[in-house]
Structure 1
Amino acid sequence: MAKSRKSKQYNRSAPAAPVVNPSTERTPEQAQGNGNLILVAGVGAVILLFWYYHLLTLNQMADLSNGLMMPDQMIGGYSVEHIEALRAAMDPNAVGQLNYLHKTAGLLFPLFLALVTMLAVNLNTSRGPVRWVLWAVPMLFAVVDLWENIAIDALFNGPVDPAAVALASTLTTIRWILLFATVAILVGVLVASFIRTFREKWEASKQGLL
């Protein structure tokens, strides 16, 4: 009797095994679906930021510079003469607005575009050198874009330095090239993913009919 009571007490004190709910475990398909939802929202945010930064606010800056184009918009670069004309046309308030724009939309746009592109690559390409190459382009774009913002803001402080103008102009041109390359990677990955998914569903539907 004593032994049986001890065994009963031991069994009562033993912790119960945790119950695993299968519905809480994410399948690869569910993880892919969640990633795609984040990707769609990210692409929408990138498009909105591009419109706000490049098509709205930078164009509105022309009202504060006697119609002169902002350096950020000049794909082929710019000269010392253009910077001197901008400095003569823009008062401290206008320069401050350009600097503020660089710290807000000019900061968010490259970061969002780089992260969204890297997410698209991560979701739709396998691990390996190709993924790293596709990741390198948006990361480099973000670095060059942020560096360009700093270089342009520096052109409005102190005397005009031709070397500083040349550096900022080069960064602007490289930035646009990397922007086009990043967008091409993002669109290409999304199109390839759509075609692959369509083919898989098509093959599955044909097998179902057979």
Structure 2
Amino acid sequence: MGMTRAQKARKYGENAGSAKAGSSPARAPRVRPASVHEMRPGELAAEPTKASSAGILVGVAFFVGAALWLYYHLLVLQGVSGNLAGGVTAPELMAGGFSQGHLADFARGLGADGRTEYEGVHATTGLFTPLLMCLGWLLFTGLNTPQRARKWVYWAVILVYAVVFLVGNTVLDAAVADPADASAVALASGLVIARWVLFALLVLIAVIVAVSVTRRKLDDFSEGKLPGQRPRA
């Protein structure tokens, strides 16, 4: 015969037998995390790790575009001048423009086969260079320029550079195919000059943005606002 509840209480204590067999301790209610839409202004803050990751990707795109530009102008076009055109400078490398006589010498140095390879350069490296470079510049200025009006001015210059670069390649192909066309040669020369002027503006924009970023970082550091810094009292 089993013991009664009173006997169990005397033998094992007051709380003995009060818990039901097989019962498990009550679990704490699970707290649902607050949704973004339920947060009040000021409670939602950007995560520093995500911002730093975006900055790294933008920096990589920027330097890849710059490296591709250097490769195109210092290696590819120099190779066109030396190997394909017999030492006649490629018109894209002449920042001050070129004459009809120079383009005629360049076309004569290329010959039929060289002209085909020259057009192939424009369809490959000459196509990807402005696109990737301008993409890196767009991302770099967009991430680091908080003023909307200034950002749009920077983007306009970058996009115009890409358009002038690509249109200039097409016009150059037509001018090299027919160097006797004075108007085509003059247009090609003007686009090359515009390309270099716009490139100088792109460099200036990159310097301005880099200086402003450095200045903001120094100001945040002095005020203790950088991630991981202890706020100053």
TM-score (norm 2): 0.74
1:65 is matched with: 85
- 1:189 deviation in Å? 0.7
8 Å Cα contact 2:126/2:169 also seen in 1: yes
- The residue correspondences of 1:1-210 to structure 2 (distance < 5 A) are 27=46, 29-63=48-82, 64-158=84-178, 160-204=180-224, 208=231, 210=233
Q: Write out the 4+ residue segments of structure 1 that deviate beyond 3 Å after TM superposition.
A: 19-22, 28-31, 205-210
Q: Which is richer in helix? A: 1
Which secondary structure state, in structure 1, belongs to the residue aligned with residue 86 of structure 2?
A: coil
Identity %: 30
List runs of 5+ in structure 2 lacking aligned partners. Answer: 1-31, 36-43
Structure of higher CA gyration radius: 2
Between the aligned partners of 1:56 and 1:159, the Cα distance in structure 2 is 25
How has the CA–CA distance of structure 1 residues 28 and 77 changed in structure 2, closer, same or farther, with 3 Å as cutoff?
farther
How has the CA–CA distance of structure 1 residues 29 and 127 changed in structure 2, closer, same or farther, with 3 Å as cutoff?
farther
How has the CA–CA distance of structure 1 residues 159 and 120 changed in structure 2, closer, same or farther, with 3 Å as cutoff?
closer
Which secondary structure state, in structure 1, belongs to the residue aligned with residue 176 of structure 2?
A: coil
Letter in 1 for 2:57: I
Which secondary structure state, in structure 1, belongs to the residue aligned with residue 89 of structure 2?
A: coil
Count matched residues.
191
Return the structure number with greater relative CO, CA threshold 8 A, min gap 6: 1
Name the Cα RMSD after superposition: 2.6
Between the aligned partners of 1:145 and 1:21, the Cα distance in structure 2 is 50
Letter in 2 for 1:110: P
Letter in 2 for 1:170: G
- Name the stretch that deviates more: 176-185 or 26-35: 26-35
Which secondary structure state, in structure 2, belongs to the residue aligned with residue 204 of structure 1?
A: coil
Between the aligned partners of 1:20 and 1:96, the Cα distance in structure 2 is 64
List runs of 5+ in structure 1 lacking aligned partners. Answer: 1-18
8 Å Cα contact 2:94/2:192 also seen in 1: yes
TM-score (norm 1): 0.81
- 1:159 deviation in Å? 5.7
